[in-house]
Chain A
Amino acid sequence: MTPENLILIAMALPLVAAIWVALFGKIPNVREAGSIVVSIATFAVCCMLATHVFADARPSVTLSEMLPGFSISFTVEPLGMLFALIASGLWILTTIYAIGYMRGHHETNQTRFFVCFAVAIFAALAAAFAGNLFTLFVAYEIMTVSTYPLVTHHGDEKARAGGRVYLGILLSTSIAFFMLAIVWTWHLAGTLDFKPGGILELAYRGGKIETLGLAILLGLFAYGIGKAALMPFHRWLPAAMVAPTPVSALLHAVAVVKVGVFSVLKIVVYIFGYDLIRETGVSEWLCYVAGASILIGSLVAMTKDNLKARLAYSTVSQLAYITLGAAIATSGSIIGSGMHIAMHAVGKITLFFCAGAIYVAAHKSNISDMRGLGRAMPFTFGAFLLACISIIGLPPGGGAWSKWFLAVGTADRGMWFLLATLMISSLLNIAYLVPVPILAFMTPKGAERQTFKEAPLMCVVPLCITAVGSVLLFFFADQIYDVLLPITEVTKEVKS
């Protein structure tokens, strides 16, 4: 099978899943079996595609050309491939987890849930494979719209209010800023294709745009991609936490938010060209905005007692790491950012899985109520602890590597203030994450013993797998490094 076909198959499979689920909505077991089978198949196809892409192939497909030079097309490069692997791989686990969660929790409208879920995964893959800005934009918007019913799943006033904030911020930033930036890019470069080395250098050298203009354009992209949750456009993420936990886990820790930061990274590398960004210094302000986002996100997380809300702000903070890496724009920081997409995905999904498992088993969502729960749910809280280590960036968690590269990046650029920010943020991570498992495992004397049991097996097994995965990534980080290296190398070739 040619890699071109694999691209199309990989994207078609989630849609097949959506149709399957819709058709067999009345028979839950058939419906769920279909979901699982297709998710495994999607991952397998992505793996097959990855063997081509990581061997330096760049398969490309154009679906339709609307106006001259303006098309829906897909080109797979390592960064997108890595993201697709993460999204499709974690989709399998999330599907299994979601089945356990939704049934354990007796949720209604499960068919709609699984349909929208599959469509969102389709959008994530389409964004990962997007060959130009327009395709990326379309995938981005499909994702926004398809996740809206998931956010408002409960259908009560609270869910609807959360959904309105979610949709309002994501749509309005994307239309007002992202779209404007795309039109501007088209005007400057005459193309929207992702090209190694960027497409804007010529326009800049030719005097079509000033340095200030370039900085504004970067700002339009950074804020237009609201899914990257850069402050002050981060409010949608905590608002989205009204969704059922599997949604928060896969979509609001992995697919949706990662599409955001992935897009930022991709635009920095393939539209601007990170050399151009570094040499002109147009991203310096973004470094500090991202730094502020990192710190403030962590600080707000500390004040939250609701576990999911705390994790949401933690995500806001961690996403800013990736934006920071893109803004620093050295080859090391770009790789660090790419890695952090993977590391944080695996770590954060574990944390959300745990939060969901706790909710299913004990119906508790506030951290202060979880005192002593660790004895009753050792696996869940054990996994939580492992994932914490990765998120904080301590060995042997995968996050150690990505944070290392990012820290080296700030040092390379002589941004000592930001280096300090990263270190302080890690301390803050410890302060707001570690108390959760500690509190759970330490039962104060005289307190009543918690009588709950672990969540259903379908919930616990996936979260154990991802927790182990977050540790394994520490040992296999060099593979990810090798895979991501070509993105930075190609740039240099083009330049010389």
Chain B
Amino acid sequence: MIDFVSQLPILMIVLPLVTAPICVLLGGRQLTYILALIVAWCVFAISLACLIQVNQSGPIHYEIGNWKPPYGIEYVVDALSGFVLMFVSFLGAIVLTYGKASIDKEIPHSKHYLFYATYLLCMTGLMGMCITGDLFNVFVFLEISSLSSYALISLGKSRRAPLAALQYLILGTIGATFLLIGIGLLYQMTGTLNMADIAGRLDVENGGRTLLVAFAFMTIGLFIKMAVFPLHTWLPNAYTYAPSVVTAFIAATATKISVYAFIRLIYGIFTPDFAFNTQPLDSALLAMSLIGIFIASAAAIYQSDVKRLLAYSSIGQIGYMLLGIGLVSVGGLAGGIVHMFNHALIKGGLFMAIGCFALRIGSVKLDDLRGAGKTMPWTSLAFTIGGLGLIGVPLTAGFISKWMLLTSSFEAGRPQVAAMMLVSSLLAVVYVWKVVETLYFADPSDAAAKAKEAPMSMLVPLYVVIAATVVFGVWTDWSAGLAQQAAEFLFTGAKQ
């Protein structure tokens, strides 16, 4: 009899992967939904169990088929991946719980079983990228998550949805190909695909041009996937035209996983010494992220569609995470990691609130949302709280990550970065306030005046997420504490 507990890491991936085709075979709407829901929550439970185990007894290494690495594929759950796995699976599960009514309305009923199957596949891909210790496997899972998200986006009701998906497909494929080229070069240099093994064999000091080219390709490839300015062009359309549920899920998780892969790339393979001392990536990251934050936030101010507004805000927020990496300190990295988590909650919550508006009002244009604060008070309140988190108001999760980034930039001797971060959050004030003012202080539009409050099935999960953004703004052991551990783990690992 196999020890069940030791099989948890593989179950996290296999469970949704296997359930997806079962959904297709079963067909039907209700049954597949329930099945997908159960699996999603199971995956969350497993990831939570793994995280706790990592906290107690150190990283878990799982060898698939008992093939010893570097010959076989290895799954690794450590402080960082455990943390990321936990929140990705949580958001995957909670968004699915919330989404029933919205899915019923926005997606043709005949395609529901396909939707749930694709959703699970997408989740599998994201989790897989996170857990695997094999570089080629990262590419495989990246493609699984990407292909399924193209499909999910194209399900949007708008006629522009397929176009947006195509746009994403083209850029996403370029990104993935770049990553693959980089992997190929690394394989050629070291003859292995296991990340830890590559790190051991790679001579970063005398790697020469091949190493540099590999690094550049992989970095740019991931930048496209995480929509770093100016490689962000696929994102606004994809987020705007995708079904609400898909937007909530992808916005909360997909770009963060790429940030995670980027952190792994630097700390797990190329070493921070190579990235930040031999190559000036830290200055480049700071410059790019600040420019990105300012331009994307400014662009968000001028959007009339709230989904698009939040999409631009996402591009800006990715900048904060890269900023944390670019500060090259434990505090900065921890700030970046915790911002991945906090922003996942905040953006997830905001897009969930937007989904409620879309359900009841039928549009998320600012003009149509006028005065919705009266008819949909709970959804509006949730949006407001989430918006405060996005700005980084104290007592919300957003503040904690901003605070860590601010103090770290002072410690890194870059107070001007802190000043610019604060000025940039003023832009966030403007675009959040624009929506809040529309909701509460404008004369009601016809659609908003007739709207009812969203159903409880959506409100309850929405408020779970929104409450989490407040809880993690006050008690930070499970967010900042874990991120701090992960950052310390990465730094000590890199030094060895």
Contacts and interface: CB of A to CB of B under 8 A. Distances in A.
A64 B475 contact: yes
B196 interface: no
A138 B393 CA distance: 8
A167 B433 contact: yes
Interface stretch (B8-16, B252-260, B399-407): B399-407
B474 A187 contact: no
Nearest to B394: A138
A184 B410 CA distance: 7
Interface in B398-432: 400, 403-404, 406-407, 410-411, 415, 418-419, 422-423, 425-426, 429
B441 A66 contact: no
A176 B480 CA distance: 24
A108 interface: no
Given A134-B394, A141-B394, A187-B410, A155 B418 contact: no
A160 interface: yes
Interface in B355-393: 393
B457 interface: no
A454 to B, nearest CB: 36
B480 A67 contact: yes
B476 interface: yes
Contacts of A67: 400, 403-404, 476, 480
A160 B422 contact: no
A176 B422 contact: yes
A179 interface: yes
A394 interface: no
A406 B419 CA distance: 34
Contacts of A411: none
A180 interface: yes
Interface in A154-196: 155, 160, 167, 171-172, 175-176, 179-180, 183-184, 186-187
B283 to A, nearest CB: 21
B282 to A, nearest CB: 19
A152 interface: yes
Interface residues of B, number: 26
A155 B425 CA distance: 27
A171 B394 contact: no
Contact of B418 (A64, A66, A172, A180): A180
A256 B411 CA distance: 34
B189 interface: no
B101 interface: no
B288 interface: no
A66 B475 CA distance: 6
B212 interface: no
A176 B391 CA distance: 12
Contacts of B429: 171-172, 175
A141 B391 CA distance: 13
A146 to B, nearest CB: 13
Contacts of B404: 67
A122 to B, nearest CB: 14
Contacts of B407: 183, 186-187
B422 A180 contact: yes
Contacts of B422: 175-176, 179-180
A140 to B, nearest CB: 10
Contact of B410 (A64, A66, A183): A183
A187 B480 CA distance: 18
Interface in B428-442: 429, 433, 437, 441
Contacts of B415: 184
B423 A137 contact: no
Given A66-B474, A180-B422, 15 more contacts: A66-B400, A66-B473, A152-B441, A160-B441, A171-B426, A171-B429, A172-B426, A172-B429, A175-B426, A176-B423, A176-B426, A183-B407, A183-B410, A184-B410, A186-B407
Interface of B: 393-395, 400, 403-404, 406-407, 410-411, 415, 418-419, 422-423, 425-426, 429, 433, 437, 441, 473-476, 480
28 contacts: A64-B475, A66-B400, A66-B474, A66-B480, A67-B400, A67-B404, A67-B476, A70-B403, A134-B394, A137-B394, A138-B395, A141-B393, A160-B441, A167-B433, A171-B429, A172-B426, A175-B429, A176-B419, A179-B406, A183-B406, A183-B410, A183-B418, A184-B410, A184-B415, A186-B407, A186-B410, A187-B407, A187-B410
Q: Which 6 residue pairs are nearest across A and B when measured between Cβ atoms? A: A187-B410, A183-B406, A138-B394, A172-B426, A176-B422, A180-B422
